[in-house]
């Protein structure tokens, strides 16, 4: 495998490109808009599923691997590009703890430093928290990554490779084919032949594959977020209650998220979500009531059944590969997913068992 075309320049496209380049491939990345400006920019960047114990082992396996890898990835990118993805190991407090037993047994099985804490601990850890919380689950060191910075540093790293070609504002509409075999793509810059084409088109992947007659259950799921600005360190840790969270960046920005809306490709922000997210912000951190949010935005997650991504080849169309459908967890799952994809493409023995993610057995 030498020449690879990647369709879609989110975190999956960019990290897959990096893995493939580092393994000696020649990579062309085609992005319909600007690199890294869709879900991978819009997300919160928590380096964990929101309630990790609710997910199946397939999601945990990718998440565990990636959590171990993120600090080294960020360090390498900072050194190579001067742009810091800002992995912030601030810990996370789950304030609604009615799943304590399940969570602690999951943590034991996955060797996570998750523990049950009382009110004294909670208010010592996060003094700004609203009154009335009596207990929580706490995971020391759980991180968030500043995903827009991650995407900027990935871009800066990719363009350092001579074997890398990037075309932005270049939507891929059709495949070059010989019967079922995929030989490349046809796009705005012309015909590009390749040994393999990888679809990493996020929320658009399902409709994209429908054009070639394959039924991949990946659909857009809108998420809206609010951004506040406080002093650096004002919020020491991520806090979560009732499915909503507040994420501190190192510079004092605080993200409040998120909604979960099935609205097709409509990415507009709404007054209703603004009000609902403001209410969640104030219920967690009452001081935010006196602050106006500095931004509101929406992104489209690549929704998939149970959040289990599709990673691997499609034998119905030899030469076509998938790395998509990461739903709410694409930022945390990206490093492991892209390493697994590369291992499979290059015939290397993967660190992670590929079986749960292989598309062939899971297409409708």
Ligand X SMILES: Cc1cc2nc3c(=O)[nH]c(=O)nc-3n(C[C@H](O)[C@H](O)[C@H](O)COP(=O)(O)OP(=O)(O)OC[C@H]3O[C@@H](n4cnc5c(N)ncnc54)[C@H](O)[C@@H]3O)c2cc1C
**Which residues contribute to the site for ligand X (CB under 6 A)?**
7-13, 30-33, 38-40, 42-46, 171-172, 200-204, 208, 223, 225, 257-258, 299, 301-302, 324, 326-332
Nearer to ligand X (CB atom), residue 103 or residue 199: 199
Q: Got the DSSP string for 140-170?
A: TT--B--HHHHHHHHHHHHTT-TTEEEESS-
DSSP letter for each residue of 305-361: GGG--EEEE-TTSTTEEEEE--GGGHHHHHHHHHHHHHHHHTTPPPSS--GGG-GGG
Q: List the strands of the sheet with 196-199, edge to edge.
A: 164-167, 26-30, 3-7, 196-199, 320-324, 310-313
Distances (CA, A) of 101 to 11, 104, 107, 108: 34, 5, 10, 11
- Strands 244-248 vs 310-313: parallel, antiparallel or unpaired: unpaired
Nearer to ligand X, 119 or 218 (CB): 218
**For ligand X, which is the closer residue by CB, 150 or 345?**
150
Q: What is the DSSP letter of 224?
A: E
Query: Taking the complex as a whole, how short is the minimal distance between the CB of residue 104 and ligand X, in angstroms?
Result: 22
Min separation Cβ 173 and ligand X, Å: 6
Q: Which is nearer to ligand X, 10 or 248 (CB)?
A: 10
Q: What is the gyration radius of the CA atoms in the chain, in angstroms?
A: 20
Q: Which of 4, 11 has the CB closer to ligand X? A: 11
CB of 41 to ligand X, least distance (A): 7
Select 13 or 359, whichever has its Cβ closest to ligand X: 13
Nearer to ligand X, 258 or 280 (CB): 258
Min. distance of Cβ 298 from ligand X in angstroms? 7
| Cβ-contact 325, 218 below 8 angstroms | yes
In whole angstroms, the minimum distance from the beta carbon of 24 to ligand X comes to 23
As beta bridge partners, residue 40 has none
Sheet holding 238-241, edge to edge: 114-118, 135-139, 92-94, 238-241, 244-248, 253-257, 219-229, 295-303
Rounded Cα distance between 64 and 107, Å, is: 11
Minimum CB separation of residue 174 from ligand X in Å reads 10
Closest distance between ligand X and the C-beta of residue 39, in Å? Answer: 3
CB of 131 to ligand X, least distance (A): 27
Residue 43 to residues 288, 313, 329, Cα–Cα distance (Å): 21, 27, 9
C-beta closer to ligand X: residue 28 or 329: 329
For residue 268, the 8-state DSSP code is -
């Amino acid at each position: 495998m030498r020449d690879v075309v990647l369709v879609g320049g989110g975190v999956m496209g960019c990290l897959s490109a990096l893995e493939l380049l580092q393994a000696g491939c020649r990579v062309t990345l085609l992005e319909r808009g600007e690199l890294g400006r869709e879900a991978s920019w819009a997300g919160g960047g928590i380096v964990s599923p929101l309630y990790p114990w609710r997910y199946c082992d397939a999601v945990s396996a990718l998440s565990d691997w990636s959590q171990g890898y993120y600090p080294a990835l960020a360090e390498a990118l900072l050194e190579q590009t001067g742009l810091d993805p800002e992995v912030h190991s601030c810990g996370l407090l789950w304030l609604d703890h009615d799943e304590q037993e399940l969570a602690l047994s999951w943590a034991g099985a996955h060797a996570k430093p998750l523990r049950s804490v009382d009110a004294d601990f909670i208010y010592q850890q996060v003094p700004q928290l609203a009154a009335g919380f009596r207990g929580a689950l706490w995971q020391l060191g759980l991180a968030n990554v500043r995903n827009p910075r991650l995407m900027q540093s990935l871009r800066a790293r990719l363009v350092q490779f001579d074997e890398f070609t990037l075309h932005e504002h270049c939507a891929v509409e059709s495949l070059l084919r010989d019967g079922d075999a995929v030989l490349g793509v046809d796009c705005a810059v012309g015909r590009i032949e390749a040994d393999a084409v990888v679809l990493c088109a996020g929320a658009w992947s399902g409709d994209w594959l429908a054009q070639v007659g394959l039924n991949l259950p990946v659909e857009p799921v809108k998420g809206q977020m609010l951004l506040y600005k406080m002093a650096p360190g004002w919020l020491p840790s991520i806090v979560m209650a009732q499915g909503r969270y507040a994420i501190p960046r190192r510079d004092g920005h605080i993200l409040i998220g998120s909604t979960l809306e099935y609205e097709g490709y409509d990415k507009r922000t709404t007054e209703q979500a603004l009000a609902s997210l403001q209410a969640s912000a104030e219920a967690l951190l009452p001081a935010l009531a006196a602050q106006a949010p500095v931004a509101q935005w929406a992104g489209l997650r690549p929704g998939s059944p149970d959040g289990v991504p599709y990673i691997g080849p499609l034998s119905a169309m030899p030469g076509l590969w998938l790395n998509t459908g990461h739903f709410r967890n694409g930022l945390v799952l990206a490093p492991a997913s892209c390493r697994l994809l590369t291992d499979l493409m290059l015939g290397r023995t993967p660190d992670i068992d590929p079986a749960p993610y292989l598309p062939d057995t899971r297409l409708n």
